[in-house]
Structure 1
Amino acid sequence: MRQNDKIMCVLEDQERRDKKNLCRVINDFQQSLQKSETRREFDLVLKKDLPARQSDNDIQNTISGMQKFMGEDLNFHERVLCTCGKALLAGTLGLIESCLLSEDFHTETRLQFDETARHLQKLESATRKPVCAAVKEFNKNQAMEAAEKKKRERKQEQEDNLAEISNLLHGDLLSENPQQAASSFGPHRVVPNRWKGMTQEQLEQIRLVQKQQVQEKLRLQEEERQRDMDCDQRRVQSAHATLLFEWQQQCWQRDLSRALDSSNLSLDKEQQLQKKYMNEVYANQPTEEYFTQINTRSQ
């Protein structure tokens, strides 16, 4: 494949050079033989103007008029066109010949390259089988080595896993050895990620302290209950004394009201008797008409 790519690159470079040479030849031909002065549209006003002389033997063609010089005869345009046509024909023929030569060279080069490619392909076909056999053998050896290496790695990994499991089973972590959690900062400190809990003695001590706290709490609750009962009894006695005092007050007020009612009744009776006596003593009572005669006299 690399050889074919190299051949294609050479062919492409040759074709690019041929195109470049062809374009350069065409450009040179256009610049030399296809100028703007030779076109039909160039300077139409001068071409339509009357010529300076009617013929080469015109009587107006004096020597002092300077109308005729070497190479300025009336057949100049036909002669130039004939010369240009010959040059154009020669250039075209040269260009065609150059193109044919370039094409022949290109064809010959391609044939040479094709022959080289076929030769290289035959050499590659001749050497491909041994190379493929060598590559196949090499790949087979590599696969066998990889499988053997993988087998050894798997066996080593299993041995490492068994050793790790054995170490974990017989180590301090799973055996819950309390010494592994001892901290270097003091006996009252532990390593959190190694601590497996408190010992039986520590648990018994905590339970004893909890029991003492429960008893102390019950004692305090009993004392509080006794205080509450004393307070309730004092409140009841105070309420009973208050009710008794209110009842005595009500009795006193009731006796006082009865005595006052009796006194008022006696006074009312005395007033009625006095009023009756006054009515009997003052039988001639003045009327309203009597009072209307006050401060009046006859004129």
Structure 2
Amino acid sequence: MEAAQPEDLAQEARLTKRRQAELCRQQRVFNARDRLIGGDTAAWDVQVRDQKIREATEKARHESFGAAGPKRWSHHHCLPAAEMKQNDRLLCLLEARAGRDRRALCRAISEFQKNFQRPDTRREFDLSDPLALRKALPARQSDHDVRNTVSGMQKFLGEDLDFGERKKCQEEQSREWSLQQRREWEDARAEHKCAEDLYTQTRLQFDETAKQLQNLQSATQKAVCAAVKDFNRTQALESVERKKQEKKQEQEDNLAEISHLLRGDLLSENPRQAASSFGPHRVVPDLWKGMSQEQLEQIRLAQKQQVQEKLRLQEEERQRDLDWDRRRVQGARATLLLERQQQRQQRHLRRALDSSNLSLAQKQHLQRKSMNELYRNQPTEEYFAQFNTRSR
């Protein structure tokens, strides 16, 4: 069995990396959707996620600023942010109502024009009627046809027997048209006046509601300001009284402290005053008057013992370092000998592997040569499977 060498492992790793890259490229090339459209969905998803994160951050920042505004002015005499929001809300309501009124008025005018001002009701509509030719009668139906005018050359001077009746009918028709037009104008004027009155009444009602809301807001602000003012006055009185009590207590404490110092152990220099309650080996620093000679002698003796002990420990540490250095040198020598032995074994194995590979290569060469002489021009499955397997 052949042993794997580092060069073979490196070559196998390179081949594996190239095969993986080729498979990835085949997935991109053989995918008709990505090849034709050319869309990078991963990059798009990242962009969409970043955009959503920015929008959420901006929304949170805007909401935090909007929420922090009124709280900042809650203890002052006025509320600018709340007042501005209330004014903006009222302005939006008034603008929306005015827009609805304008649209309603426009719809009413359009309905009036559609119902009462149609083109076919006008007096001169017959001059521009597109169906005039279909509605027209023949030029002459009888000798007494009222449409036989002079310009039509159907009846000449002296033949107009119905002139009086025709003129009377024309005058009656003109009077009816005038009356109808006046009635329509008066009706339109009344409807327009009614619409204006309704609009004016609605605006007055809206103004009254806005005024009431403004008065209610002003009263609320005044009540809040009065409550804050009373609270501040109470706090100021309590602060003055508390300062007086603190000053009085401080004076009493100072007198007590002076009396205690005059009668205490500090001025009398009592040595027992430095004794601490945490143990006999501890003292109170601000009451301690210094150590005695016996204590100083004990401290010097302890310092000499510590110096001797430190010298002994340094000598032991030096001996340990020398021992570890000796052991490290022996281990390095043994490791070097083992590496040399392993190198000799690897060279021996390499020679055996080279000879084995050479014999196998000769056998494969002879076998390939015999197969080529025996089978010539014979396509195999590998020949057909090599097509459309790579992206290049």
Whether the TM-score (by the shorter chain) exceeds 0.5 is no
TM-score (structure 2 length as normaliser): 0.29
Q: Relative contact order, CA 8 A, sep 6+: which one is greater?
A: 2
TM-score (structure 1 length as normaliser): 0.36
